[in-house]
Amino acid sequence: MLGLPMDASIRIKPSNLEKYAVFVQSTSANRKLMANTRFLYEVEDWHK
């Protein structure tokens, strides 16, 4: 969608993302959510 490389790390200034909703995937088992933020999660059997 954005044309970013799949096999590289990049840095993007937050000011360049104003028109996007950005979701960051975390592998942490105990990630803390910051106040006034949103999260996205996947449910395996959502279609049932």
Mean pLDDT confidence for 17-31: 80
Report the residue count for the chain.
48
Average pLDDT over residues 24-33: 82
Residue 47: pLDDT over 80: no
Would you state the structure tokens that stand for residue 6, as one six-digit string?
């799949």
CA 48 to chain centre: 25
- The total of structural domains in the chain comes to 1
Can you give the pLDDT at residue 46?
74
pLDDT at site 42 = 81
- Residue 32 is part of which domain span? 1-48
Tokens in use for 23? Answer: 């979701």
For the record, the structure tokens of 2 come out as 């954005």
pLDDT over 80 at 2, yes or no: no
Q: For the chain, what is the largest distance between any 2 Cα atoms, rounded to a whole number of angstroms?
A: 40
Assess whether pLDDT exceeds 80 at residue 16.
no
pTM check: above 0.85: no
